Amino acid sequence: MIGIIAEFNPLHTGHKRLIEAAKQTGETVASVISGNFVQRGECAAFEKGFRTKCALLCGVDIVAELPVLWSMSTAQNFALGGVWQLYTLGCKEIIFGSECGDISKLLSVADTLCSNDFFKLLTEKANGAITFATAREEAAAELGADVSVLKNPNDNLGVEYIIAARKLNLPIKFSCIKRVGAEHDSRCISGDFVSSSYIRDELSKGNIAFAERFMPNALHGIIENKDIADNKKLDIAILSSLRSKNTEDFKNLPDLSEGLENRLVFAARASTSIEDLQIRLKSKRYTLARIRRLILNAFFGFDNSFFMKTPPYVRVLGASELGLKELSKGTVYDIVIKPSQIKDLGVDAQKVFEAECKATDVFTLLLKTPLEAGLEYKRKFLKSEDLK
């Protein structure tokens, strides 16, 4: 089995190209996708069940979810959760998109970042004056690594996948395809490709025709009446919640540097908008994505209990006929199809699922037509016949 870690937010022609490359291996294709909140510290455009349907329609055989405690987290934690889940589903290889398209170069950089010499240098440089990413680049460069790849978002994430597998001692092969078309987060059109963020922007304006132009044919006609989540609906709820908290409520947040909890309390009380809050918190040390994640984690009340740990289960959201055959072979790990199975998996599994429920209950309020709470317990497992 070959695996893909993705957000599919939304699934576009670049993703389809990656899925086709995976299919060419002749293996069953499994994908772990982010839940309803994603790594950039925002809600996904479409609900994860709909994105599961899109993935199945475009050739993925098994779709599992990366729980919110990993999907809305650092690249390191995101990679750790995704790699672990794909391996436990049975994947022997992971394929991803890459700006450089050279897996040997990415493996070499990962070698450097896993070395003892690197950790010593990183400790010296990560003194708080610069971002972690900058400190990492400087340390790796001094050891002769080609750090240009760490400046590319897909290359950087690919390196994190490789590092995660090594930390977990997993015998996984990695391969990549060269990313083509528009750059990450750009607003340029390059042939049949544009960035996911450009598509999301146009979807938020109701420009379905633009979005479909850069989405696979299999998805044309199914997004026209689909509700798109509006992240701005959260602003007042977040500010009102954070204003009622104190430093004790914040000190165990994931990826929190010492002292930031004090700034967060002050900024929450002084800010009158989320944009204002982000500006007050942002610095050379903290990227905007990190700040957005921090704010959402504080709002949800998520702590660091599971940070840089592997997810306690794999929840499969949907599968093709081929995927169902793979799942029927059994596994040494806990695979969940129905939420009712989670109660038998222990306290950690229940806590992770409770966090997922909380995130979904908020997400459904961000839709144009808000939905009731508790939908995680009612989620339908998608099969091939459900896609027609």
Tokens 């991803």, residue located:
96
- Residue 309 parent element (H or E): none
Give Cα 20 to chain centroid, integer Å: 21
Q: Using CA atoms in the order 366, 47, 37, 214, what is the torsion angle rounded to 10 degrees? A: -110
Q: In terms of CATH architecture, what is 1-99+152-229+308-388?
A: 3-Layer(aba) Sandwich (3.40)
pLDDT mean across residues, the chain: 93
> pLDDT-derived band of residue 225, with 50, 70 and 90 as boundaries?
confident
Query: Does residue 343 or residue 64 have the better pLDDT?
Result: 64
The proportion of the chain whose per-residue pLDDT surpasses 70, expressed as a percent, equals 97
pLDDT at 330: 67
Q: Which two tokens stand for residue 105?
A: 């170069």
* Cα 334 to Cα 306, 311, 342, distances in angstroms: 17, 10, 9
- Residues pairing with 96 in the sheet: 176
> pLDDT-derived band of residue 333, with 50, 70 and 90 as boundaries?
low
pLDDT digits (tens, 9 = 90+) for 303-322: 999 999 999 999 999 999 99
Query: Does residue 4 or residue 282 have the better pLDDT?
Result: 4
Cα(285)–Cα(126) distance, integer angstroms? 10
> pLDDT-derived band of residue 127, with 50, 70 and 90 as boundaries?
confident
> pLDDT-derived band of residue 332, with 50, 70 and 90 as boundaries?
low
Q: What is the pTM of this model?
A: 0.95
* Cα 144 to Cα 120, 123, 133, 155, 158, distances in angstroms: 15, 18, 17, 17, 19
352 by DSSP, 3-state: which?
helix
pLDDT digits (tens, 9 = 90+) for 199-218: 999 999 999 999 999 999 99
Window from 11-15, 191-195, 343-347 with minimum mean pLDDT? 191-195
The DSSP code for 190 is B
Task: Say if strands 173-178 and 62-66 run parallel, antiparallel, or are unpaired.
Answer: unpaired
pLDDT at 128 over 70: no
Q: How many CB atoms lie within 10 A of CB 144?
A: 9
- CB contact at 8 A, 49 and 382: yes
Section 270-288 average pLDDT:
89
pLDDT digits (tens, 9 = 90+) for 78-93: 999 999 999 999 999 9
> pLDDT-derived band of residue 272, with 50, 70 and 90 as boundaries?
very high
pLDDT at 182: 64
pLDDT at 223 over 60: yes
pLDDT at 62: 97
pLDDT digits (tens, 9 = 90+) for 10-66: 999 999 999 999 999 999 999 999 999 999 999 999 999 999 999 999 999 999 999
Q: Domain segments of the chain: what residues?
A: 1-99+152-229+308-388, 233-300
Q: What is the DSSP string of 41-77?
A: TEE-SS-HHHHHHHHHHTT-SEEEEE-HHHHTS-HHH
Q: Which two tokens stand for residue 41?
A: 């510290």
Q: How many CB atoms lie within 10 A of CB 176?
A: 23
Between the ranges 57-71, 214-228, 286-300, 324-338, where is the mean pLDDT highest? 57-71
pLDDT at 138: 93
Cα(322)–Cα(314) distance, integer angstroms? 18
> Angle at which helices 274-281 and 235-243 pack, to 10 degrees?
60
